[in-house]
Structure 1
């Protein structure tokens, strides 16, 4: 038990042997005991003394990048139970144990067998164990320790974000910040100066500088000109060890682009350019293009153009092509070779975006002279005035009278003769003629202003030797009015007055119309016609505004005595010559109520204007409704009585049928048989259809004693019977004549309109007893006839 207790309480002694000179050059070889037995505490009382330690007891250090041929000694572990007889075996486990790090089982010495790199792995964690060599039982609790890789300056600074590209505006002042560069060092920044970096410029230091500590690049000069050099390539170096000798370094390339400012005005490459254009070119046609150059770039090259001289600005205008920055010279007014052959136009270019910092450097504009030469071309004739002519002629002018001249000339230098003509599409009636040489327009027909007050004709002028050179103008001819139409009443006046009209009462105001249009305006004079000047009923008052008022002279008009008065009125215009006309005013006398509202007039013309009160309208409607009901009742009763009468007559129809076996008078016997009456179906609608009524009767008779439906004849027969009963001048249709078969010896066979089924002369007419009453109803279908000699 004592031995086991000793084994558990013995402390593991870890010895650090570092054979490496630290930064100050001192070497350490120290050994520390972390735990001892209780007995040792009794033998050696604990004294409180400060012990100098340069290491942590459970941490080893090993230098990185060891290049020796022998394993590098790291340190030693030791148990105070080790008597030195080799009975204790030391082992290690953990990261790199047995490969990177090995231990001497007897002595506890640890060595590194591989070259270590702190930048790859900065420390290793292992565990140490002391065991009995015979029983392999652990003598001490397992202890953990760390082997830390000691850094050396073996990594140079690197620019991880390079290559760098920055920019700065041209003409920037000295010290303007451009950009910042930054390098990194993989060495341990907490140990020594291996990771302390400083910056410097290797190439381009004349134009730019770099801050040693921060890496900020700044301008070193103030005259950077983009137009001279638009970019610079710098080489910036980063050195560790704070720049001391022996430090490592790295470099990168920095590209600095000089950005543009608007410090250059536009410039025309030539101070004069020339273009040629034929005369008569359409307005808006481009003459040519000029362009100013600008050493700047981007929007700083945007410019606008304008015309400076007054003459050029009158004939030309300039616009800017935004894509090419060219000035386009455009015709503003037609150019005429005969007026001026050369035009000098001053075109100015101006920057759109001016930097106020450089206004004092000079004017940001330039000018050039554009010379435009006008060439001669054959031009069509030109009319004067160019917008058409207006002429006037009296409407009573004689045929061939002069109207006016049209004037045109050849604008070319040759000034060739012209020929004039009227476009027939504008003067289809050939009212006007024109002299082909002089252009004089004369009348071809008599005019009437009231038919057409204006005539617009198109006159064409062509060169005598070149018909393709033609021009047209419009001539508007105004027809001047003459007083050739008398005035007329505006409407056929009809006026109504009340029977109790008062004397002096204004009953109507009349006006007139005149188809003429005198230049001084219309003036009409109104008087009563001579035949009405002595009337005692009405007077006329001319109110001097081309209207006249009609007033009553007396009271007490009586429509029973006279319901209509005709008042002739004479109207005279102002001429010259003065023309007159007489119009008649019809005055109706009407009955009025107490308020003067017209109730009724004898005159028919006023019936459209009569208004009934709502009570009168209701009474009128009630009366009309009562009359309609009474008429319907009478018609119904009449139809009922006639129906009863017809039933009584049907009872004795059979006895009134008389048979005739003789031929009768034939076609010549017009007294016995009326042929026209047979052909005329009267107004029987069924008889006018595609199949006549007698034919239908015949079809019923031909069927052998077949019972037929006589509803087809009912309406018509009843109508005829009613007509016969109501007409006292017509003899009664109470007989019926038949013409049967004459016999076998007769070539006519039969004159009867009724077919028989037998060809023998002996025929049975007994069926007539049944058909008698029906045929009696058909009596109206045949004309009445007198019985022949053998009839009864």
Structure 2
């Protein structure tokens, strides 16, 4: 028996061997409580065999001990096999029940029916509940707070500890929670007991409908306004704020057959926000009488009906812009419509019928300026020729924007889109592309050009091609395929630029004569072999009044590329005193003007134009100038700025220009080449060739030799210097066969 009060040691049982008559027997025990922990709880008298307990026992610590008794002779030899001894500690009710929690929390929905399980409480007891009832627990409810609507709203299962609803009338809005004191008693309710707290939270059920407060609303909105707040509807709901049973859902029950309004819930205030879902039209409907209902997100737990409210919406009239009918108008019109003729009539209607506004028309967007519209009747006329091939006509369609402005307050503007579908007429002759090409003078390849016709079929191919203005002397032409032609050179030509006049005719007889430029190069076969092309230019001679009265010439060209040498055509030698100590120096025909000593070249040699290579004695030895020198075709760039000898200016023009003459030419003073070391003031005059001298060969493409850059095509040199220049007599007119300078 646990908790025995003694005295100790207390005898329990005597162990005795039947061999003790034959020999002296000694007893001992082993096992838990003897020689194993807890050691010494049990002992045995060595000679008598009495088993004794030395202290009170606690069943809750060790309910059963297993020992083994041993019997041996005086010499220690066993006289018996070990015997098992089982000691069972009988229970005393010495432990109270213990709840697993001091506070239990449970939940129950309001309006729950009797018998609805709420929660379970649990307690344990260390005493024996198998052999005796010391550990059998019984549960009970000691108290309930608050005791409403009555003091026994809940009950508890005495064996299982399950708390359930006993009475009716749970209402979260009245009593949101209950506190119960529950008791656990062992020995089936007759023994020791303990208590704990059970808190029951009453959860919300949707047992309250949202109610409009107030139930009538009124709002005013301008017509055509979309998404505008018309009214804010307020409701009250006794259910738990924020819960689905409290959250409101609004619906428009009647009065909005055309879906002009929408209503949503404000998540913070639970109000209903009524807005326009589309623009309202005062002329169609000026007021709306709406009925709005409200319910919760979750269904009602009881049938209580729905709350409703009335909303009066008044539509305010505003000045609306005129509306074109149709908003996009497509009109087919021929591109050769005469100027001043009517294209179409494009009018708008004013939706504000009661206001009777006047509409005025004008063009809003007319990219090409082709159209005009009558301000009163909306008739569109052509004020400029239409052109289907214009960049303003995309895919043969011209887009214009027409405006209609009423005189309301404030005025309103409507827009309409006018699309002119331009019908093609044969107003463009075919033309060749490209308009300029390179070709070798010997055994040239055929040149294939593309025929371009801006018109549409059938005003295009098949094409016919012919040569005009004597071009057939040197060339032949034939149409190749659907949109190509082939030009062929019939005989060898001198290098230069030649004009070819091509007459192309489309299938409807529309013809166009186009000038094509052929650059004939001194080469054979493919045009890619052309390395030096014919060059013509206007030379600009700048006469700089140097400090020592020695003129320095610089030249620039109107177009690249630059020649290796430029011929100043002088049919006869001439002398021109320029005030430099009265000296004169002739220039041999075909020879270059040489730079003076100290100009970067050794005596008697000339530096190549635009190069830093060694100087050359003759122009033919010098390499060509840098590529890209000169200006755009047809323009005259600024003259080369003074720079050190042998350098190029910002346009890539050489600083030293070699001039050759077909006959001797006398230049006063030291032999200055045309290098840009000039100083002082300058005069600027054009230099060009006149009639051909015996020393020049006439170019058939340039019979006058004008602007020729080839040593073979030159005439009388002609230049002008400001009259009165120091040591320079007045200018004299040029005569055939003679050169005049000054």
- TM-score band, normalised by the shorter chain? 0.3 to 0.5
TM-score, normalized by length of structure 2?
0.43
Which has a greater percent of strand? 2
TM-score, normalized by length of structure 1?
0.41
Which structure carries more relative contact order (alpha carbon 8 Å, separation 6+)? 2
